[in-house]
Homo-oligomer: A and B are copies of this chain.
Amino acid sequence: MSEPSTETKVETAEAAALDLANVSDDDRSGALHAVADAIEDAEAKILAANEKDVAAAEEKLAAGDYTQSFVDRLTLDAAKVESIAEMVRSVAEQDDPLGETLEARRLDEALELYKVGVPIGVVATVFESRPDALVQIAALALKSGNAVILKGGSEATHSNRVLYELIREATADMPDGWAQLIEAREDVDTLLGMDESVDLVMPRGSSAFVQYVQDNTKIPVLGHTEGVCHVYVDSVADLDMAADVALDAKVQYPAVCNAVETLLVHESVAADFLPGMLARYADAGVELRGDERTREIAADADDATDVAPASEADWTQEYGDLVLAVKVVDSLDDAVAHINTNGSKHTESILTDDADRAGDFMRRIDAASVFHNASTRFADGYRYGLGAEVGISTGKIHARGPVGLDGLTTYKYYLEGDGQRVASYAGENPKPFLHEEFEGEWVPGHLASTR
């Protein structure tokens, strides 16, 4: 049998979504446990497929096309396979994100409105070359009752195919075709054109790619364009604590979007704080770029540290690497203005021992996550306790910051009536509405006996 077209795959998923919306949590979670078991059982097969991808990647590494960290992220071993299975189980064991009555309101006697959580429908994801991403996204989609279109990085083709087939077979009881794999780059363009069938697209990967998706589809896009995160060391910060946190925010894992890119330091503590801090960064291999005041302090220090001059472009750049821009600011106001002008609304942190100044900063910063005395690196679905994440959104619409199961749901209004007509509530002697909130779950047809 020839491979179905992308159109057929998407339409199959669209039909499956209608059924999947009404599969019970027990059945969805049971299917996820079956996926976890299947992944463990097929460890050898998964590793064999992954070896092919890794071998191809290592050739490109030798040719200088890939970095070692890229190859590392692609590579699976027995422990990683086990952790993927565990992740699927943890998603299965989350609370059901569907069916919750979010609001109940009596519009009139025997006229009751219920707002109930439901799946979005068909979600499409285009993700980077980590084989665990495919499983994580598929697990979150199934738990939240959504059909899913999966497009992984071509470098992980063999791994993704095996994992996809395992998922498909282990979820044979679920509505047929609820998960679809597409592989070619041109299929992404076909997918992006199917805005009648796909309800949400979540691109992961480079900013340029996310931008490409946003520019080429009418489907709503949930994605982060970049993470230009700041740490601001305030005039009344505990400077030892600040140095530990600021170091962690840059060096603990510099390749990710929640790593700090610009350090801001209040002028009143800059001379005390910066010489030691800059030396620690330099020891950790961080390349430093500073404004004039930072460079003067660095140069004047007993133990001078190399700080290159920062250009305007440095203040808005996501380095994603061991590079840091450093600036001395005159005030908390200046820090807020700098961040709101140059930041990407991802994650911002103030280090201070003054509660009022912390609150002022946090309220005024326009970002998905604003921290007080903590590393920006905490901005993550797992650390936030969301179980897992489909991505981190820097947009403000639908879902913001780390996006877990909640971000894959929407709601539906159910109205239970008894034959009501709008004409009774309009015109000359309109009936008034009651509009009383009440506690209650939607029970279909429970008002029928009132007539």
Residues of A within 8 A of B (CB): 17-18, 21-22, 105, 107, 111, 113, 120-121, 199-200, 214-215, 218, 220, 222, 238, 241-242, 244-245, 247-248, 252-253, 340, 351-356, 358-359, 362-364, 366-375, 377-379, 383-385, 395-398, 400-401, 410-423, 425-426, 433, 435, 443-448, 451
Contact = CB atoms under 8 A, between A and B. Distances in A.
Contact of A366 (B18, B248, B252, B356): B18
A419 B401 CA distance: 21
A284 to B, nearest CB: 12
Q: How many copies does the complex hold?
A: 2
A368 B416 contact: no
30 contacts: A22-B363, A111-B374, A113-B384, A113-B385, A121-B396, A199-B397, A200-B396, A200-B397, A220-B395, A220-B398, A242-B419, A245-B421, A248-B423, A252-B423, A253-B422, A351-B419, A353-B448, A354-B445, A356-B445, A359-B444, A369-B413, A370-B412, A370-B414, A370-B415, A372-B445, A374-B416, A377-B421, A377-B422, A385-B435, A401-B412
A372 B451 CA distance: 13
Contacts of A367: 412
Given A199-B397, A366-B21, A397-B220, A420 B378 contact: yes
Interface of A is mostly: mixed
Contacts of A418: 373-374
Max count, chain B CB within 10 A of own CB: residue among A426, A445, A448, A451:
A445
A356 B445 CA distance: 7
Contacts of A218: 214-215
Given A372-B416, A413-B370, A421-B252, A107 B400 contact: no
A412 B111 contact: no
Nearest to A99: B363
B383 A425 contact: yes
A397 B35 CA distance: 29
B359 A445 contact: yes
Given A340-B18, A384-B113, A385-B435, A368 B413 contact: yes
A372 B417 contact: yes
Max count, chain B CB within 10 A of own CB: residue among A200, A215, A244, A355:
A355
A12 B103 CA distance: 36
A425 B401 CA distance: 20
A30 B121 CA distance: 42
Contact of A433 (B385, B397, B435): B385
A395 B200 CA distance: 10
Given A241-B451, A252-B421, A444 B397 contact: no
Contact of A372 (B200, B398, B444): B444
Contacts of A355: 443-446, 448
A111 to B, nearest CB: 7
Nearest to A435: B385
Contacts of A447: 372-373
Contacts of A245: 419-421
A416 B372 CA distance: 5
A113 B247 CA distance: 22
Contacts of A22: 363-364
| 7 nearest CB pairs, A to B | A355-B445, A359-B444, A374-B417, A248-B421, A385-B435, A241-B419, A377-B422
Nearest to A422: B377
A421 B244 contact: yes
Contact of A373 (B356, B377, B417): B417
A384 B356 contact: no
Given A215-B218, A433-B385, A410 B419 contact: no
Contacts of A362: 414, 444
B371 A415 contact: yes
Contact of A398 (B105, B397, B423, B444): B397
A383 B422 CA distance: 9
A426 B252 CA distance: 9
Max count, chain B CB within 10 A of own CB: residue among A363, A401, A446:
A363
Given A356-B445, A373-B418, A400-B411, 6 more contacts: A351-B419, A359-B444, A370-B412, A373-B447, A378-B417, A383-B425
A76 B306 CA distance: 70
